Amino acid sequence: MYTFSNKLRIGSFIAMALGLIFLVIGFVSAPSTVEEAKAMVAVHGESHDGGHAEEATAEHGEEQGHGAEAAHGEEHDASHDTHLLHQLQNRPWSALYVAAFFFFMIALGVLAFYAIQRAAQAGWSPLLFRVMEGITGYLVPGGIIVFVILVLSVMHMNHMFVWMDPEVVAHDELLQGKAGYLNPVFFLVRAAIFLGGWIFYRQLSRKLSLAQDESNDNSNFVKNFRWSAGFLVFYLVTESMMSWDWIMSVDPHWFSTLFGWYVFASMFVSGITVIAMVTVYLKSKGYLEDVNDSHIHDLAKFMFGISIFWTYLWFAQFMLIWYADIPEEVTYYVTRIADYKLPFFGMLALNFIFPLLVLMNSDYKRVNWFVIMTGVVILFGHYLDIFNMIMPSTVGDQWFIGVPEIGGILFFGGLFVFTVFTTLTKAPLRPKRNPFIGESKHFHY
């Protein structure tokens, strides 16, 4: 049995408290009126906003040339200001949402990996099942928090999803055309179905996994195998739809067909990385004596391979849109390259080049601190990935990784660590009579 080390527990509480304070600061300091927003931007970016102001005047000049009406220019100015206000108001919400989704997606990625290991009847991984079950323990609180944020969005507490605003839809024919799918009630019903299905499988599989320890035949194992195979079918469909709903719809004018796979790759590699990191941590504390370097080696191989798979999908999406350069699709990347150059290309270095070069060597994959170091880099890279998906559509060029963003990471990171390690204390770390446990113990690569 694993006992939650006091240091880690206190650490997770401190992270949560600090994160909460940072998030509150973020929400309090968000402007509530147009004047405040303008003042904030003026103070904030006296020097670097010069170009922006010039651009704006140039635009206005053109406007006047067209209509020669001062009133028109003013109206445009006002709409520009409301836009800015909404962006600044969105920032703490987006910071909250990105962090909430990021940690939730790790648990979901682990659940997918777990189901695959069960359905494939892998011989090497049963020793790690309890670690995976511990991590997927975060699915319940994390999923509920994400759902609450979505409900609050539907209740117009924020402007992250523009299609939820009836005012906007009334003036937007594209959104009217999509209203059959993108309408608040259907959106929440879908989210409830996705989360319900995932949490149901997680709880059921955990129950069967624990029952298998106490039973005297393999019926629980067989049932778990069947449920896992069924879950994978359900997951494949719902994960794709979830990515349209929760991520792609912040940019409701844009669509991409392989988006679901792309989000999947991101969550899958983050999930595997977290499995590897938690395993190495538990092993270093002496809790997983049967886990050897070959298990770590296998996890590191998955980290390496899926990192490249993620890059493949990232590039496939980017290159197809860049190559064809169709205006209605390409704006997605135009805004990202214009306003998010460093996070956008920086994440490629973190998620592709770094793991490619570091984890290519077979010997390095067995060095535990190497795996941890690469894991930290990969996780940060995939946080940036989610950041790059959400932020450009919600806060635009007003982004910064500051107090609310770090607060979000700290709060959800702390909650994640607390939930995961609490779940790990609930059951023995080594499954007792999994049919493959002997093979897993002697696994050697």
Taking CB under 8 A as the rule, does residue 326 contact another protein?
no
Per CB under 8 A, contacts with another protein among 405-424 are: none
Which one among 323, 327, 342, 369 touches another protein, defined by CB under 8 A? 323
Between 81 and 293, CB nearer to another protein: 293
Q: Smaller CB distance to another protein: residue 158 or 311? A: 311
Chosen residue from 104, 124, 147, 318 binding another protein by CB under 8 A: 318
The Cα-based distances of 397 to 33, 34, 380, 392 in angstroms read: 19, 17, 21, 7
Minimum CB distance to another protein, residue 22 (Å): 38
CA 304 to chain centre: 19
Least distance between another protein and beta carbon 322 (Å):
5
Count residues contacting another protein (CB under 8 A)?
8
- Site pattern 339..378 for another protein (x: CB under 8 A): ---------------------x-x----------------
The binder of another protein chosen from 54, 62, 74, 325 (CB under 8 A):
325
Residue of 346, 393, 434 lying closest to 97 (CA atoms): 393
Q: Which is nearer to another protein, 219 or 362 (CB)?
A: 362
Q: Please state, as a whole number, how many other Cβ atoms lie within 10 Å of the Cβ of residue 441.
A: 15
Contact status, residue 95 vs residue 26, Cβ threshold 8 Å: yes
Q: Which stretch binds another protein (CB under 8 A): 30-38, 178-186, 311-319, 405-413?
A: 311-319
* 319 contacts another protein (rule: CB under 8 A): yes
Nearer to another protein by Cβ, of 10 and 357: the residue is: 357
- Considering the rule CB under 8 A, would residue 236 count as an interface residue with another protein? no
Which residue lies nearer to another protein by CB, 179 or 308? 308
- Minimum separation from the CB atom of position 348 to another protein (A): 12
Q: Specify the 3-state DSSP secondary structure of 258.
A: coil
Q: Which two tokens stand for residue 140?
A: 């319940």
Q: SS3 for 202-237, per residue?
A: HHHHHHHHHHHHHCCCCHHHHHHHHHHHHHHHHHHH
Distance, in Å, from the CA atom of 432 to the CA atom of 57, rounded to the nearest integer, reads 71
3-state secondary structure of 152: helix
Using the contact rule CB under 8 A, the part of the chain among 214-222, 313-321, 407-415, 422-430 near another protein is 313-321
Asked if residue 107 lies in contact with residue 203, where contact means CB atoms within 8 angstroms, the answer is no
Rounded distance, CA 91 to CA 259, Å? 24
Q: Which is nearer to another protein, 323 or 369 (CB)?
A: 323
Distance (Å, rounded) from C-alpha 159 to C-alpha 92? 11
Give the number of other CB atoms < 10 A from CB of residue 111: 26
In the complex, which residues of this chain contact another protein (CB under 8 A)? 315, 318-319, 322-323, 325, 360, 362
